[in-house]
């Protein structure tokens, strides 16, 4: 959990957590992990932490609790052109959390965020960077178009910080 600094005093020092999701063994599913690698190679402000979240399930709820701002990077099917990326916040989308989902092997990002929301533990600011995957087969390499988008997303995040 992060330090919950009093936001009035540290308006510009919002504690920010950047989480990359996905499995790099599954091609473009791993865009979040690649973004984390790139971010870790750059110099970041002290109020920013970067973590490879992998596929955390409900562990995400404890992970994001207490941060002022959380930035999530993941492969997301948005019906856009393959490899393209988009920035959005939760108000702009509907999180498809299933009631009675099948298995704890499967509580995805949406279910975990829905749980955090129901518990009133969501950080004040959540920003998604979704990259439309091209191929997610086992042992696929990341597609060059998706890889390019990862770099654009990383640059965009660095400017926004």
Partner 1 sequence: MSNRIEVHHVTRVEGHGNIIVEMDNGKFKDCRFEIVETPRFFEAMLRGRPYGEASHITSRICGICATGHAVTSLQATENALGVKPSEQTRYLRKLTFNGEILDSHILHVYMLVAPDFFGVGSIIPLATTHREVVLRALKMKKLSGDICAVVSGRHTHPIAMTVGGFTHFAKPEELEDLRERCIEIRQDVDATVELFASLPWPKFERETEYVSLTNPSEYAFVSGEIMTSDGGRYPLKDYKKLTNEFLVRHSSGKHTRHKRDSYMVGALARLNNNYEQLHPRAKAAAEALGLKPLVTNPYLNSAAQVVEIVHCIEDSIEVIDHLLELGVKKEEPAKPSRNSGDGVGVCEVPRGMLIHHYTIGEDGLITDANCIIPTNQNLANIEVDMHTLMPKIESKPHDDIRLDLEMLVRAYDPCISCSVHVMDVEDLKD
Place of tokens 């499995």: 23
Q: Tokens in use for 24? A: 């790099």
CB atoms under 10 Å from CB of 44, counted, come to: 15
**Which is closer to partner 1, CB of 37 or CB of 117?**
117
Answer whether 116's CB lies under 8 Å from 64's CB: yes
Of 97-116, binders to partner 1 (CB under 8 A) are: 97-105, 111, 114-115
**Which is closer to partner 1, CB of 23 or CB of 147?**
23
Q: At its nearest, how many Å lie between partner 1 and the CB of residue 113?
A: 10
Of 78-97, binders to partner 1 (CB under 8 A) are: 97
Q: At its nearest, how many Å lie between partner 1 and the CB of residue 62?
A: 5
Distances (CA, A) of 128 to 5, 33, 37, 65, 100: 23, 15, 18, 16, 25
Distances (CA, A) of 65 to 17, 34, 105: 10, 24, 22
Answer whether 22's CB lies under 8 Å from 31's CB: yes
Q: At its nearest, how many Å lie between partner 1 and the CB of residue 52?
A: 11
**What x/- string results for residues 19 through 48 when contact with partner 1 is judged by CB under 8 A?**
------------------------------
Binding site for partner 1 (CB under 8 A): 58-59, 61-62, 97-105, 111, 114-115, 118-120
């Amino acid at each position: 959990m992060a330090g919950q600094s009093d936001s009035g005093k540290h308006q510009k020092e919002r504690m920010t957590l950047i989480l990359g999701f996905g499995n790099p063994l599954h091609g473009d599913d791993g865009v979040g992990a690649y973004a984390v690698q790139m971010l870790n190679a750059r110099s970041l402000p002290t109020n920013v932490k970067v973590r490879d979240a992998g596929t955390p399930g409900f562990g995400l709820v404890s992970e994001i609790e207490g941060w002022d701002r959380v930035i999530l990077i993941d492969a997301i099917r948005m019906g856009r052109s393959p490899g393209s990326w988009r920035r959005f916040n939760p108000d702009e989308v509907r999180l498809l959390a299933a009631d009675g989902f099948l298995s704890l092997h499967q509580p995805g990002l949406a279910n975990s965020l829905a749980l955090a929301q129901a518990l009133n533990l969501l950080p004040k600011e959540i920003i998604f960077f979704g990259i439309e995957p091209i191929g997610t087969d086992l042992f696929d390499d990341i597609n060059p178009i998706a890889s390019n988008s990862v770099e654009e997303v990383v640059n965009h995040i660095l400017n926004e910080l």
